[in-house]
């Protein structure tokens, strides 16, 4: 199927889908806090990532057993890839998801949700711009309109402003680089999962494939880490530390549907807004040790919502080096 075979979505549908993306972003921030606390409680971010992804896979496996549409979609994905009608790397989006969850377990507790978010969403915005500009599979390239570029740049400024009071000079550089790379992977993951969803005709199938690949990658990393460092002595008993996988299922499934309507950039900006809002709520309702809410966090969060609104506005005026939106 060619990109032109998909008519553009209506403005109302795009607006509703971007609003859903804000909710998905809130789930990501909540998952970051949960997985970060699980990694801290275990003293092992690798095991925390396996638990998060693995629990989601168990839920999805049960859903696949009772869903005829999901099983049929899985067969369609396998046959399409085997026949060479789609590249193998379309089904590897779970690897990027695994890296995100691993970075949550290793760095989110030390950085705090807000600082973890700024590193992630910077990478997410960059990947959204690049993938939308080039297109991917049945997703036609989206022009770099003035509102999209201005909104993206404003979002980056807003995110940095929001966490400026929490920046620390003694944070190891790898703790910043890791979530930034994870953010780059989020955009690619959403794009390829959207392709799998199109092949399968089922968001459940696309989510299941994502979690199979991600869990496999994490099990290999965990096995290597365990051979070197050993297993934790005990598991934490708080039930809420084990729901990160369920949250990931909702995010991955929703994004696989939404990305074909909004494109990667708008989906990413919506999730950025949701991440900052939820980060602010978490910092107010259940602040992490040593983290306080500054006025810049509140102002930066509000500015991010404005940036998403600007990037969502269509325009028909051409600017130098930019294309008008359709």
The Cα–Cα gap between 204 and 208 comes to: 6
**pTM for this model (two decimals):** 0.74
- Which secondary structure element, helix H or strand E, spans residue 97, and what is its range? helix 93-103
> Which of 182, 188, 184 has the alpha carbon at shortest distance from 135?
188
> Which of 124, 272, 114, 245 has the alpha carbon at shortest distance from 189?
124
Average pLDDT over residues 28-45: 87
Rounded mean pLDDT of the chain? 81
CB contact at 8 A, 130 and 63: no
Average pLDDT over residues 240-268: 83
**In the chain, pLDDT over 90 holds for what percent of residues?**
24
**Residue 112: how many CB atoms within 10 A of its CB?**
24
| pLDDT, tens only, 89-139 | 999 999 998 998 888 888 877 777 767 777 787 787 778 777 877 777 666
| pLDDT, tens only, 52-63 | 999 999 999 999
> Which of 101, 28, 37 has the alpha carbon at shortest distance from 241?
37
> Which of 44, 159, 39, 28 has the alpha carbon at shortest distance from 109?
39
Examine the pLDDT at 162 and tell me if it is beyond 80.
Answer: no
């Amino acid at each position: 199927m060619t990109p032109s075979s998909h008519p553009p979505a209506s403005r109302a549908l795009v607006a509703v889908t971007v609003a859903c993306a804000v909710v998905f972003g809130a789930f990501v921030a909540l998952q970051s806090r949960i997985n970060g606390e699980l990694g801290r409680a275990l003293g092992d971010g690798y095991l925390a990532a396996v638990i998060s992804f693995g629990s989601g896979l168990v839920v999805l496996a049960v859903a696949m057993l009772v869903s005829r549409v999901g099983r049929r979609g899985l067969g369609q994905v396998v046959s399409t890839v085997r026949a060479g009608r789609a590249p193998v790397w379309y089904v590897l989006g779970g690897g990027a998801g695994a890296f995100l969850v691993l970075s949550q377990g290793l760095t989110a507790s030390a950085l705090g949700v807000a600082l973890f978010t700024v590193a992630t969403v910077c990478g997410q915005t960059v990947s959204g711009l690049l993938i939308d500009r080039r297109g991917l599979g049945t997703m036609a390239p989206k022009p770099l309109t003035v509102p999209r570029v201005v909104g993206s740049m404003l979002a980056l400024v807003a995110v940095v402003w929001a966490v400026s009071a929490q920046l620390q000079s003694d944070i190891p550089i790898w703790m910043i680089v890791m979530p930034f790379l994870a953010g780059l992977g989020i955009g690619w993951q959403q794009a390829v999962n959207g392709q799998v969803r199109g092949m399968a005709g089922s968001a459940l199938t696309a989510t299941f494939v994502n979690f199979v690949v991600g869990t496999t990658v994490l099990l290999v990393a965990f096995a290597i880490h365990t051979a070197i460092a050993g297993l934790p002595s005990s598991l934490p008993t708080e039930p809420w530390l084990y729901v990160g996988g369920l949250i990931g299922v909702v995010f991955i499934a929703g994004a696989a549907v939404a990305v074909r309507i909004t494109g990667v950039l708008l989906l990413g900006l919506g999730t950025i807004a949701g991440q900052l809002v939820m980060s602010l709520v978490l910092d107010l309702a259940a602040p992490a040790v040593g983290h306080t809410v500054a006025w810049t966090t509140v102002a930066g969060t509000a500015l991010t919502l404005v940036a998403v609104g600007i990037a969502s506005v269509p325009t028909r005026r051409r600017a130098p080096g930019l294309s008008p939106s359709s």
